[in-house]
Amino acid sequence: MLAEQAAGERIAVLAPLVRGRKGEYQKELEQARRGGFLRARIDGRLVELEPGLRLAKQRRHTVEIVVDRLTAGRAAAPRLADSLETALRLAGGLAAAVRESRLTAPPAAGKGGGRGAVAPGEDWLFSERAACPECGVAFDELAPRLFSFNSPYGACPACSGLGTHLEIDPELVVPDPDLSLAAGRWSRGARPWPPGTPASCGRWPRTSR
């Protein structure tokens, strides 16, 4: 998908280590530098990973390690796949891609993420986890039982997979609310009290509204 949408364009593959959190992240940046990575996009700016680099502790930051920069297309598909796998491994299951023209622009939060075609002003965001990368809502691992109405894991919680559910229609239970109980306020098909109770035996006095 990515190779087709950005065919012929220069893109950068990023590993989102931090997304809108406070901290210095000196340890994480140093580990990335020792891992052979040279640059990172930090708060929308492309910076060199130099020894001792640290961020303002009380500010929220977005740190994305630049994994690779390449021209997208079929010929580069294997390299792109390897770079995305590296980004997913480095960022714990997240990977991003951005057109090089936007490499020094702030990331488009909440956009992209594999939702079909991505506009030129948006980033691609991918997750190998069954969770939303924006809000953190998690889902079960995809399995056939999630799509089966015969399984409690896939059945509709409202009808338990039956397709219908019972409801009480007050107008059918009490067709004429102006009548007393003895005169037949309740429908013949309705039995509000079990057999043997005073109401079912007709021993209650007549009442009217």
Residue 208 placed within a domain: no
Q: Sheet of 45-48: strands edge to edge?
A: 45-48, 39-42, 60-71, 10-22, 94-99, 124-127
CATH code assigned at 119: 3.30.190.20
Please report whether residue 102 resides in a domain: yes
Evaluate whether residue 55 is within a structural domain: yes
Euclidean distance between CA atoms 110 and 81, whole angstroms: 23
Does residue 108 belong to any structural domain of this protein? yes
In a domain, 21, yes or no: yes
Interatomic CA distance for residues 51 and 53, integer angstroms:
6
How far is the C-alpha of 90 from the C-alpha of 16, rounded, in Å?
Answer: 8
Q: Is 159 helix (H, G, I), strand (E, B) or coil?
A: coil
pTM confidence score: 0.59
Distance of CA 74 to the CA centre of its chain: 30
Q: Which residue range(s) make up the domain with 49?
A: 2-127
Question: Is the residue at 178 inside a domain?
Answer: no
Establish if 47 belongs to a structural domain. Answer: yes
**Digitized pLDDT (tens) for each residue of the chain, 209 residues in all:** 787 888 888 999 999 999 888 999 999 999 999 999 999 999 989 999 999 898 999 999 999 999 999 999 889 999 999 999 999 999 988 899 999 888 876 555 444 444 344 454 567 888 887 767 666 676 666 778 878 888 877 888 888 888 887 888 888 777 777 877 777 666 555 555 555 544 444 444 444 34
Number of C-alpha atoms within 13 angstroms, CB side, residue 202?
Answer: 3
Question: Strand 60-71 to strand 39-42: parallel, antiparallel, or no bridges (unpaired)?
Answer: antiparallel
Whether residue 105 is contained in a domain is answered as yes
Number of domains the chain is built from: 1
